[in-house]
Structure 1
Amino acid sequence: MECKAYRETEVYQGAILVLRTLQQAGHEAYIVGGAVRDIQMGRIPHDYDIVTSALPEHTIHSLRESGFTTTNVVGLSFGVVVVRWKDYEYEVASYRNEQYGEDSHRPVSVDFPSTFLADVQRRDFTINGLAMMVDGDIRDEVQGLQDIQKGILRTIGDSKKRFQEDALRMFRLCRFVGQLGFTIDSDTWAGVAPNLYRVQGLSLERVRTEIEKMLLSDHVALALDALVRSHLHEQCCQQTTGGTSRRIPILPELTHLVDLPQAPEYHVHDGWNHTLAVVQQVPPNLVLRWAALLHDVGKGMDGVRGFHKGRITDYNHDRVGAIMARQILERFGYGKDFVNLVVWLVERHMRFHFYVANASADLRKWIHKETGESQFRETADLVLAMEYLAALGVADVAGSGTKDIGPSQVYGERMVRIAKSMPVHTKDLQYHRTLPKTVAPYTKEVMTTLLERVQRGDLDNTPEALQEAGIAKYHRLMKKEHKE
């Protein structure tokens, strides 16, 4: 499975130079972690971490003597020295052991053992415990190669101890499931539940980063399912602002979707498995993946779940879900524009299905209405939103398992075409540069009229059409003023 192409990359060659320099100074040195794992899986790494028997000050001395640029500030207390070579940076870590306290990710103390074996035994998973030598040979003290071949995620040593040391490892476990498509070893899985309480010591920023990596992973459905089945999503992490810490719920809003019945005439899955199918279907874009994860989060809620003539209904789940989505994303600290776009998609996803099912409905009129009621500042914003909505809508149909996605794809393409022809602001109009001066002092009134007419579809957005219509409007305004 190993691919040799990585050896031709400049970033790898720089890592080898660092290894050789440390070895020539009398120290052990290896490439470790994700780069070695990826190489064994036929992937080309983009960055390399290095471990060495040298103490930090010896690492700095040896590398600087050979012309490398290093820092003696970043990570030095944890035995990590950042080395720069050409356009690349490498973290060179001394063999170390760590002890953890209240902070469930940052160690309170670090000591430097003398052997690679002692260092590797404090690492998280066997697949990340591999080391590569200068000649490309692999040092494997933890059966990491075997676990890669079997597609298994397994902690190095006792899983309860590994997760107790660093609670972020439980989220990394779910993330690796998504990135690699591996299954979780049963003993490793058993170590999660006893350490859920340790999540409260993690920072929101680190938890959010791991969840984002899950959302963008190739096997996103597997990652999210592991997150929920482990109950990590029901825990709280912390955010410290101005010296004050507060508890932040992670994603408890997902719990009720598990095993939530849905109308069988429209869905073959329960609420959670449908959600997973939709998330897996949309492209790996953070806006789309969040929208897909939360698009049905309002289903089953009090005031939403009901029954009509013996059938399950979830009327207004899109609106309730949009409110919940805003609360979740703001809690995670996302910016206003990001939140507004995801919330818009959650709230509008049923509108997409309405227009697909009702071909005679006036789609252009709805899109025109959106230009005035939503947050779009220009046509490009509207087009992007419609592209996202089309992708979400098609994925929602595919995830239902009951319908052909063809009609939805065709309608989605039509939505985007209309959006591209729909100016949101007067600056989106394709008028001659001289037109605003020509129609002065009625520039505002004329341009607003032209915008509304193009949006309605009764005026082409071309320089010639806008010039003619603009001057005609100008003359009407002048006549009206003279009469008055």
Structure 2
Amino acid sequence: MWQGATRILRALADAGFEAYVIGGAVRDLVLKQTPHDYDIVTKARPDDIIDIMAKAGFNTTGVVGKSFGVVVVMVPEGSYEVATFRRERYGADSHRPEEVVYADTLEEDVARRDFTVNGMAMTAQGEVIDLVGGLKDIKSRTLRTIGNAEERFQEDALRLFRACRFVGKLGFLPHRSLLDGMAPNFKRVEGLSLERVRQELDGLLVTPHTAKGLDVLVQSGLADCRCRVLMNGEYELVPILPELHHLVGLPQQPEFHAYDGWVHTLAVVQAIKPDLTLRWAALLHDVAKGMDGIRGFHNGRITDRGHDQLGAQMAEVILTRLQYPKKMVQRVAWLVSSHMRFHFFANNQDADPWRWMRKEAQSGRFRKSSELKEAVQQMAEVCAADVIGCGRPHSSTDGTYAMGECLAAITESMPIHTRDLAYGPELPALLGDKTGEILQALLVQVRSGQVANEPEALMEAAKRKLARKARKE
């Protein structure tokens, strides 16, 4: 990919125009990471870019978004966005610039960008052009805005969420000036679309250092803000994640938890693999702790009985409000509602996992056995992270994963639907118009363990059913 970028840079330079790789690609190269893509900026205007690329033998798509002056250039290594230097002026809109004009210098283009680590440029020879102190901030692992933080966030309120995401992505500490510049612009968040905010939340949740980014989101007060969604032709304000703030500093019983409610939650989210469903479940698994009717005391010890069930209700409300797909909402709510039960089964040898899985199979929540199997495997991941997140020394997740494997094995022989029954084509031929009725009866028998989910066993059981029906008739 770097070779393709240098092809374009050299073609522009040969035509007499400054050109640089800019932004995230430079940051990643400085960090010795592989960039996902390479953005290029140049003094050349879009029409010049198109002509120069044509003469160099490269195809272009023309101008992509005339107000931004971006041309997509195709070279053998792939496609690259080439943008003309520009300046922006912001107005009432919380995200989009009111005016975009072409600029003549790299300095002007860099000055409009968000963070110093994203404001560095690189020549075709690999020389870093740092006009904003990005190299220094990378060395000190600091996230800082370019220029005045309050002004940068006032220009584009989505940068507030991008700040959290970049803290999570890079693991850098936010500079004091960045944190101080956030709150004065929280009112601007109300002009952001829910879709944009949700995209940033999703990005944050799957970052390598998500706990750090989430901590900025919540402790700054940004999670308490509202964004907007268009409903029936009118904008409505939607709370983002105010339900999380009460966990900050929330006491927990020391024998079981080394951390308060919020630090525990962060530890659980960080401990689980970066899958969106799993990380939402981890983030919300204890969201109801400390709530009225949940927080209590028994023999001088803190209790939160029922937090799993209320937490599931809250998770469903939160994710529905944020307009996540119904299937994902239901799965996260199930994981939250079931995590304490899973812990009970993992720690009590007398508990009957077959009975639990039979109940789930009959609940109507799952359409097929593979869905239930996936759910219990996800549950094992959530609960293992929960164990790790308690911060107790010598904690082991072996029993947690063993219970997950046990439940997953049970689901393989626990049919949800008659489609999960392992019968051959001769069975419907035998049953004729009684197929549906007898398959339902076989489903119940297989779930209860009376009949094995195998072709021969199902055929024999079906024959017995037919014989009994014939005698009654």
The TM-score bracket by the shorter chain reads over 0.9
| Structure 1 residue 316: Cα displacement | 1.4
Task: Choose 50-59 or 114-123, whichever is displaced more.
Answer: 50-59
CA distance in 2, matches of 1:447, 1:242: 46
CA distance in 1, matches of 2:306, 2:236: 32
Q: Say whether the 8 Å CA contact 1:74–1:81 is kept in structure 2.
A: yes
Equivalent position SS for 1:307: strand
* Residues 470 and 189 (structure 1), Cα distance of their counterparts in 2 relative to 1, 3 Å cut: same
Q: Which residue of 1 aligns with 2:269?
A: 279
Q: Say whether the 8 Å CA contact 1:278–1:396 is kept in structure 2.
A: yes
Q: Which residue of 2 aligns with 1:449?
A: 441
Residues 342-361 of structure 1: pairs in structure 2 closer than 5 A: 342-361=332-351
Equivalent position SS for 1:430: coil
Q: Which residue of 1 aligns with 2:396?
A: 404
CA distance in 2, matches of 1:437, 1:73: 63
Pair 1:419 & 2:406 matched: no
Q: Say whether the 8 Å CA contact 1:442–1:477 is kept in structure 2.
A: no
Equivalent position SS for 1:423: coil
Q: Say whether the 8 Å CA contact 2:368–2:416 is kept in structure 1.
A: yes
The counterpart of 2:242, out of the listed 249, 252, 255, is 252
* Residues 293 and 374 (structure 1), Cα distance of their counterparts in 2 relative to 1, 3 Å cut: farther
The counterpart of 1:468, out of the listed 460, 466, 472, is 460
Task: Choose 78-87 or 115-124, whichever is displaced more.
Answer: 78-87
CA distance in 2, matches of 1:457, 1:211: 44
Q: Say whether the 8 Å CA contact 2:167–2:174 is kept in structure 1.
A: yes
Q: RMSD of the alignment, in Å?
A: 1.7
Q: Which residue of 1 aligns with 2:60?
A: 70
User: What is the CA deviation profile of residues 456-477 of structure 1, one whole-angstrom value per residue up to 9, with x for unaligned ones?
Assistant: 2232222222222222222222
| Structure 1 residue 309: Cα displacement | 2.3
| Structure 1 residue 375: Cα displacement | 2.0
| Structure 1 residue 243: Cα displacement | 4.1
Q: Say whether the 8 Å CA contact 1:50–1:92 is kept in structure 2.
A: yes
Equivalent position SS for 2:303: strand
CA distance in 1, matches of 2:78, 2:125: 21
Amino acid of the structure 2 residue aligned with 1:415: L
Task: Choose 52-61 or 392-401, whichever is displaced more.
Answer: 52-61
Q: Say whether the 8 Å CA contact 2:9–2:19 is kept in structure 1.
A: yes
| Structure 1 residue 241: Cα displacement | 4.2
The counterpart of 1:382, out of the listed 365, 372, 377, is 372
The counterpart of 2:470, out of the listed 469, 474, 478, is 478
Pair 1:135 & 2:125 matched: yes
| Structure 1 residue 64: Cα displacement | 3.7
Q: Say whether the 8 Å CA contact 2:287–2:311 is kept in structure 1.
A: yes
CA distance in 2, matches of 1:452, 1:16: 66
| Structure 1 residue 369: Cα displacement | 0.8
Q: Say whether the 8 Å CA contact 2:219–2:245 is kept in structure 1.
A: no
CA distance in 1, matches of 2:289, 2:217: 20
CA distance in 2, matches of 1:326, 1:102: 34
Q: Which residue of 2 aligns with 1:5?
A: none
Structure 2's unaligned 5+ residue stretches are none
User: What is the CA deviation profile of residues 182-230 of structure 1, one whole-angstrom value per residue up to 9, with x for unaligned ones?
Assistant: 1112222222122222212211111111111111011111111111111
The counterpart of 2:322, out of the listed 313, 327, 332, is 332
Pair 1:196 & 2:217 matched: no
| Structure 1 residue 25: Cα displacement | 2.4
Pair 1:439 & 2:439 matched: no
Amino acid of the structure 2 residue aligned with 1:263: Q
Amino acid of the structure 2 residue aligned with 1:423: P
Equivalent position SS for 1:71: strand
Q: Say whether the 8 Å CA contact 1:236–1:247 is kept in structure 2.
A: yes
| Structure 1 residue 240: Cα displacement | 2.6
Q: Which residue of 2 aligns with 1:213?
A: 203
* Residues 336 and 87 (structure 1), Cα distance of their counterparts in 2 relative to 1, 3 Å cut: farther
Q: Which residue of 1 aligns with 2:18?
A: 28
CA distance in 1, matches of 2:300, 2:364: 37
User: What is the CA deviation profile of residues 300-357 of structure 1, one whole-angstrom value per residue up to 9, with x for unaligned ones?
Assistant: 1122112222222212111111111111111111111111111111111111112123
Q: Which residue of 1 aligns with 2:258?
A: 268
Q: Which residue of 2 aligns with 1:312?
A: 302
User: What is the CA deviation profile of residues 155-186 of structure 1, one whole-angstrom value per residue up to 9, with x for unaligned ones?
Assistant: 11121211111111121111111111111122
Q: Which residue of 2 aligns with 1:4?
A: none
Task: Choose 231-240 or 86-95, whichever is displaced more.
Answer: 86-95
Q: Which residue of 2 aligns with 1:15?
A: 5
User: What is the CA deviation profile of residues 13-46 of structure 1, one whole-angstrom value per residue up to 9, with x for unaligned ones?
Assistant: 3222222222222211111111111111121122
Q: Say whether the 8 Å CA contact 1:53–1:115 is kept in structure 2.
A: yes
Task: Choose 178-187 or 457-466, whichever is displaced more.
Answer: 457-466
The counterpart of 2:363, out of the listed 373, 385, 408, is 373
TM-score by length of 2: 0.95
CA distance in 1, matches of 2:91, 2:78: 34
Task: Choose 248-257 or 409-418, whichever is displaced more.
Answer: 409-418
CA distance in 2, matches of 1:88, 1:253: 44
Q: Which residue of 1 aligns with 2:94?
A: 104
CA distance in 2, matches of 1:259, 1:160: 28
TM-score by length of 1: 0.93
User: What is the CA deviation profile of residues 117-171 of structure 1, one whole-angstrom value per residue up to 9, with x for unaligned ones?
Assistant: 1111111111111112112222111221222122111111121211111111121
Q: Say whether the 8 Å CA contact 1:454–1:460 is kept in structure 2.
A: yes
Amino acid of the structure 2 residue aligned with 1:165: E
Equivalent position SS for 1:98: strand
Task: Choose 441-450 or 316-325, whichever is displaced more.
Answer: 441-450
The counterpart of 1:155, out of the listed 142, 145, 168, is 145
CA distance in 2, matches of 1:479, 1:66: 87
CA distance in 2, matches of 1:64, 1:198: 43
Q: Which residue of 2 aligns with 1:299?
A: 289
* Residues 112 and 242 (structure 1), Cα distance of their counterparts in 2 relative to 1, 3 Å cut: farther
How many corresponding residue pairs? 471
Task: Choose 376-385 or 424-433, whichever is displaced more.
Answer: 424-433
CA distance in 1, matches of 2:50, 2:321: 41
Q: Which residue of 2 aligns with 1:93?
A: 83
CA distance in 2, matches of 1:87, 1:168: 32
Amino acid of the structure 1 residue aligned with 2:163: L
CA distance in 2, matches of 1:284, 1:365: 31
